[in-house]
């Protein structure tokens, strides 16, 4: 006959002292208090599920009093009677609570920033900053603090349509950005589906803008002469001079660094991180460019950037400086923009100076193979490009003096992708 178990009392528990080894005080039906050698008193419930012995902790005494321990014990026994394992149920409940916490913690802003940081090495600094700026201004204030998995397609569509009222181009950019952020979340198992993948047609079609470019000698000469007479900052004047001469992208020019310039070889080495196509690029410097840079060195040479900000030697010139300066010289945005000089060079180098398209495209850093099918590399056609850049600089000098009267004046529109 089994020995009868006398239920525990508060007094008996209080008198229980630690011994050299752990021991137990039983309350009945599998409930007992484990007295540890360290002095801790822990509630335990021993039971069987499918004839398999199991054990579950009910807490620490006196945090869990004797009545509370019996209450938890009774609830656990009822679960066992129904064939439910209390320990397994507790584990599943804990996992659900943790999953809910993670779900609520994985807000759109958190995951979008994580995606952005993951993609940053693949982008130029300017492009990465632009993407984040659009998110911080137009998206995070609206849905940023929401769990990414609960945001719906109609909510995203509504957000984009409101942005489109102000600027359609930004809305289209955000549409792509949001879709990519969700794609990242789906791949990571954070979100079960991509609600931004069903947004086709939610925005009006975008009419691609073109950038004004002077592509006749007369119009180009007019701009070059005006630049020579620029009376503002000498740093800005140098940038205005080099913009048409080197015809790189405006962001590449304004972020030119002195360490990238080799005066002995007359070369400017632009690292891949600054290039649109993420490939290193060489710009042969004609004699006029070297002279311009050397005249500027005493002013900005102690800093990092050739064209430093007016406010800091360790920051590049503002993205709008050259554009604003052209306006102050009297040229509208329909006549010329800094990026348009790439089309200017492309047109006149081929049509007037008769250089081969392959050489011009290589200097423009466009990702096209040469005629032998070789992929672009930074030294491709370097000898031809070096000669071409000097001929181009000499041609620009000649335009300031000699203008062919028989040619019509005007400007054309160059594609954004140049």
Catalytic residue among 219, 255, 339, 385: 339
* 20-24, 109-113, 289-293, 314-318, range with the lowest pLDDT: 314-318
Active site residue 346: no
Catalytic residue among 54, 90, 183, 276: 276
Active site residue 276: yes
Check residue 125 and give its pLDDT: 80
Active site residue 297: no
pLDDT-derived band at 264, boundaries 50, 70, 90: very high
Question: Can you tell me the mean pLDDT for 99-105?
Answer: 65
- Rounded to 5 degrees, φ, ψ at 383 are -65, -45
Active site residue 249: yes
Which fold, 108-198? DNA polymerase; domain 1 (1.10.150)
CA 414 to chain CA mean position, Å? 28
Catalytic residue among 376, 378, 387, 400: 376
Selection from 340, 324, 169, 3 nearest residue 160 by Cα: 169
Catalytic residue among 249, 255, 274, 346: 249
* pLDDT tens profile 232-258: 899 999 999 999 999 999 989 999 999
More confident residue, 275 or 208: 275
Fold equal for 108-198 and 212-415: no
Catalytic residue among 237, 281, 342, 346: 342
Question: Can you tell me the mean pLDDT for 85-112?
Answer: 80
pLDDT-derived band at 213, boundaries 50, 70, 90: confident
Check residue 409 and give its pLDDT: 41
Identify the sign of the CA torsion 302, 305, 310, 312.
Answer: negative
Task: Please name the CATH architecture into which domain 10-91 falls.
Answer: 2-Layer Sandwich (3.30)
Total-model pTM: 0.55
Check residue 104 and give its pLDDT: 65
Check residue 378 and give its pLDDT: 67
Per-residue exposure over 64-75, b if at least 16 CB sit within 10 Å of its own CB, e if not: bebeebbebbee
Selection from 204, 179, 244, 217 nearest residue 400 by Cα: 217
Active site residue 313: no
Catalytic residue among 54, 279, 366, 387: 366
pLDDT-derived band at 313, boundaries 50, 70, 90: confident
- Consecutive H or E run containing 24: strand 23-28
Active site residue 180: no
Domain residues of the chain, as ranges?
Answer: 10-91, 108-198, 212-415
pLDDT-derived band at 6, boundaries 50, 70, 90: confident
Check residue 71 and give its pLDDT: 93
* pLDDT tens profile 394-414: 999 999 885 544 444 444 444
Task: Please name the CATH architecture into which domain 212-415 falls.
Answer: Orthogonal Bundle (1.10)
Mean pLDDT of the chain: 86
């Amino acid at each position: 006959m089994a020995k009868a178990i006398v239920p525990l009392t508060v007094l008996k528990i209080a008198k229980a002292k630690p011994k050299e080894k752990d021991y137990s005080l039983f309350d009945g039906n599998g409930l007992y208090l484990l007295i540890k050698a360290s002095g801790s008193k822990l509630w335990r419930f021993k039971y069987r599920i499918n004839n398999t012995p199991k054990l579950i902790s009910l807490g620490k005494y006196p945090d869990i009093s004797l009545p509370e321990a019996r209450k938890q014990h009774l609830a656990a026994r009822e679960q066992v009677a129904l064939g439910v394992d209390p320990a397994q149920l507790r584990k599943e409940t804990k996992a659900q609570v943790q999953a809910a916490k993670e779900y609520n913690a994985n807000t759109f802003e958190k995951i979008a920033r994580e995606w952005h940081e993951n993609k940053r090495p693949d982008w130029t600094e300017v492009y990465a900053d632009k993407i984040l700026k659009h998110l911080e201004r137009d998206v995070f204030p609206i849905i940023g603090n929401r769990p990414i998995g609960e945001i719906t397609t109609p909510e995203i569509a509504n957000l984009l349509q409101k942005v489109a009222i102000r600027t359609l181009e930004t809305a289209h950019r955000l549409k792509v950005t949001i879709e990519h952020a969700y794609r990242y979340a789906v791949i990571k198992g954070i979100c079960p589906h991509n609600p931004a993948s069903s947004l086709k047609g939610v925005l009006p079609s975008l009419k691609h803008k073109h950038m004004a470019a002077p592509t006749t000698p007369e119009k180009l000469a007019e701009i070059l002469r005006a630049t020579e007479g620029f009376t503002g900052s000498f740093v800005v004047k140098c940038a205005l001079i080099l913009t048409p001469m080197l015809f790189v992208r405006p962001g590449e020019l304004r972020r030119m660094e002195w360490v990238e310039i080799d005066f002995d070889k007359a070369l400017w080495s632009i690292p891949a991180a600054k290039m649109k196509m993420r490939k290193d690029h060489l710009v042969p410097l004609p004699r006029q460019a070297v002279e311009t840079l050397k005249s500027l060195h005493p002013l900005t040479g102690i800093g990092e950037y050739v064209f430093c900000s007016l406010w800091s030697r360790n920051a590049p010139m503002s993205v709008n400086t050259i554009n604003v300066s052209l306006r102050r010289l009297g040229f509208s945005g329909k006549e010329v923009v800094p990026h348009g000089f790439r089309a200017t060079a492309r047109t006149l180098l081929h049509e007037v100076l008769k250089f081969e398209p392959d050489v011009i495209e290589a200097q423009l850093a466009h990702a096209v193979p040469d005629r032998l099918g070789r992929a672009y590399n930074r030294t491709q056609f370097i000898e031809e490009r070096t000669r071409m850049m000097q001929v181009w600089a000499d041609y620009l000098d000649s335009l300031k003096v000699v203008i062919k009267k028989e040619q019509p004046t005007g400007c054309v529109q160059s594609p954004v992708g140049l």
